[in-house]
Amino acid sequence: MKLFSQYRRQFLVLAAAITISPAVYALSPQEILAASDAIRNPDFPFGLTNTLVEYRKGKETESSTLAIYSKADPKGGQFRSLVRYVAPARDANKLILFSGKDMWFFDPSSKASIRLSPQQRLLGQASNGDVVTVNFAKDYQAVSATEEDTQDGERQTRHAYKLELNASGEGAAYHRILMWVDKTSMRPVKSRFYAESGKLLKTAYYRRYQPIFGVERPTETVIIDGLESDWVTVMRYSDWVKRDVPETWLQRDYLPRFKPE
């Protein structure tokens, strides 16, 4: 009986090992994409400051500072954001609202709001769609995931999943994206964004990971033009704060009444 119990314990240990085998828990391409989204974005309403700097041939040419307030739509899970210009002074308190598939620009001097496209450039290589918070898994379908080594924004080699993403709806800012996600940490490493024609629009590197809300998140995105490699835009994220984002802030009709805190 004692010998039988010993064999039984060994069997149970072996069965448990098989049960938790990594192969059993292999993630689908879409699950890998969702995991990388969770690294980039908190799962609760928050605010931050996004400082954009444009460089041409290594020289700074323009900059802008934005205050961003974001929260996920309880229906679809995609983020909705209100963006307020802080600097330069000529743009202070201008607003961009991104809610659902709609994006609006509001100028307090004219009291007029106009519809924007997420693909329109805001500064340098950063488009309107790049500065708002986005869950890629809500707008794109990851159709494949292969493993390969790639260089990150610090020129370090990372073993990563290479995801091929196709736009799954009209709200997507890009037709196709290739994204590399670190296999061990699920951190996004870099992305390449393509037009419907197949033209490479730009490459983005996610860098300078720091602990934000208990998770190591990228605090800098470096965007390089698809044709002119010396045309670079850097987005730096700071002043992260967990905060309430009222529903009224995310309504177009409320834009003329919005007051910065």
Q: Tens digits of per-residue pLDDT, 106-135?
A: 999 999 999 999 888 898 899 998 999 999
Identify whether 4 is part of a domain: no
pLDDT of residue 77: 85
**Percent of the chain with pLDDT strictly greater than 90:** 79
Identify whether 7 is part of a domain: no
**Percent of the chain with pLDDT strictly greater than 70:** 90
Identify whether 231 is part of a domain: yes
pLDDT of residue 74: 85
Cα separation of 42 and 94, whole Å? 25
Token representation of residue 130: 């790049």
| Residue 26 pLDDT level (bands cut at 50, 70, 90) | confident
Identify whether 21 is part of a domain: no
Token representation of residue 35: 């995991």
Q: Count helices and strands (H / E) in the chain.
A: 4, 15
How many CB atoms are closer than 10 A to CB 208?
15
Q: Which helix (H) or strand (E) holds 157?
A: strand 157-167
For the chain, the helix, strand and coil percentages under 3-state DSSP, each to the nearest 5: 20, 50, 30
- Domain with residue 182: its CATH number is 2.50.20.10
The pTM score is 0.87
Q: What range does the domain containing 199 cover?
A: 29-257
Q: How many angstroms separate the Cα of 225 from the Cα of each of 39, 54, 81, 220?
A: 25, 11, 25, 16
- Write the pLDDT tens digit of every residue in 142-173: 999 999 999 999 999 999 999 999 999 777 88
- Write the pLDDT tens digit of every residue in 44-102: 999 999 999 999 999 999 999 999 999 999 888 899 999 999 999 999 999 999 987 78
Q: Are 41 and 187 in contact (CB under 8 A)?
A: no
Identify whether 42 is part of a domain: yes
pLDDT of residue 20: 37
Identify whether 69 is part of a domain: yes
**Domains: count for the chain:** 1
| Residue 1 pLDDT level (bands cut at 50, 70, 90) | very low
Identify whether 226 is part of a domain: yes
What are the DSSP calls for 99-151, one per residue? ETTEEEEEETTTTEEEE--TTSEEETTEEHHHHS---HHHHEEEEEEEEEEEE
Identify whether 9 is part of a domain: no
Q: How many degrees, rounded to 5, is the angle at CA 135 between CA 232 and CA 131?
A: 35
pLDDT of residue 25: 58
Running DSSP on this structure, what letter comes out for residue 227? S
Q: Are 197 and 174 in contact (CB under 8 A)?
A: no
pLDDT of residue 13: 37
Q: What is the mean pLDDT of the chain?
A: 90
